[in-house]
Amino acid sequence: MLVHSGEFKDMLPGLGLDMGTFAVKGVLVDGDDLKKISVFTAGNPVAAARRCVAGLLAEWTGAELRLGLTGANAPLLGNALEQKPLLEIEALKAGLDHYGLECQAVLSLGHENMYYLEMDGGGTVTFFNRNGQCAAGSGAFWYQQASRMGYNDRELAEVALQADSPVKISGRCAVFAKSDMTHAINEGATQSAVSAGMARALAEMVLSGVAQNRIGDGTLLTAGGVINNIAVMKYINEYCQARSVEIIVPPDHEYLSALGAARRGAKTVTATALLAILDAMLEARYQPENPLPHLEPGRVRYMPPLTAATQYDLST
């Protein structure tokens, strides 16, 4: 059962931004009112954050608010504000605390970042592991393959459930997985069988690679956009049922980290100043940290063509 902590009643409104690689999730908490919005990153996290903030503050009439940041792209805005973002695990735990959620283990499945953690009775994290940099097993990989087949991510998940049996797909490497899928389709496998195989491969990678086969008795709280993929969750549910593990999916689970950032936000800003900083970031020209020197045309020299000193007979 979700229990609102009520702690925001006597505090400034809190705005939390979870600036992920796939989407920016934002939450505005003002007393008992909670507003949330999600914007696809689409390769421009600052623009997505700007749209997210503008949407959250569109009808808000207050003056100051507390700002909290988390997510892979949070340092972009954090540097401009001289604010240190929360670690994703800190923000998620704060979001769980806000609703009074208690659990033994948490599986967070974002479109690119996934992690598994275990906690003791006092809420202290006793184990933590996350996925690597390879795209295999990520929601973003599923999204890419869904687009390749002419579906969105949720439509392909429904197609996968129609399969009688899944095609075997490698889940360890995105390149191998894509190769297996292409080979299976060329041999006449249906899209449902191929997508079901991909769903099973992603689930197996999450369970063995991210969770390290540690999911056992008790409760498992799940969060993140991939939790909405009914095909992947089918295989994760089967795994957990076989081990007497109860899966908990909180409402609005995609926004738990953003809510935690709003809860822990310590930077006081005005809405006008925050939007102005985001606008300035969008207008600023990108400057690489270690730029290459400009070429000077008068000093550029080209290597003369190489000539072989010895002729070799390669016919034998």
Residue 163 token pair: 């399969």
| 232 in Cβ contact with 142 (< 8 Å) | yes
Q: What is the pLDDT of residue 309?
A: 64
Q: Quick one: 7-97+257-283 is in which CATH superfamily?
A: ATPase, nucleotide binding domain (3.30.420.40)
pLDDT in tens, 266-301: 899 999 999 999 999 999 887 777 877 777 767 767
| 173 in Cβ contact with 138 (< 8 Å) | no
What is the value of pTM for the model shown? 0.82
Q: What is the pLDDT of residue 312?
A: 60
Q: Give the residue ranges of the chain where pLDDT is below 50.
A: 1-6, 8-9
Q: What is the pLDDT of residue 305?
A: 73
Q: Exposed/middle/buried for 256, CB within 10 Å: 0-12, 13-18, 19+?
A: buried
pLDDT in tens, 113-146: 889 999 988 888 899 998 876 655 567 788 888 8
HSE value, Cβ hemisphere, 13 Å, CA-based, for 27: 28
* Alpha carbon distance 210, 130 (integer Å): 5
What class has domain 102-249? alpha beta
Long-range CB pairs of 177-181 (<8 Å, 24+ gap) are: 177/136, 177/141, 177/201, 178/145, 181/145
* Alpha carbon distance 288, 37 (integer Å): 31
Task: Report the relative pairing of strands 218-223 and 105-109 from DSSP bridges.
Answer: parallel
Please enumerate in sequence order all residues whose Cβ is within 8 A of that of 133, keeping only pairs 6 or more positions apart, or say none. none
CATH 3.30.420.40 in the chain, residue ranges: 7-97+257-283, 102-249
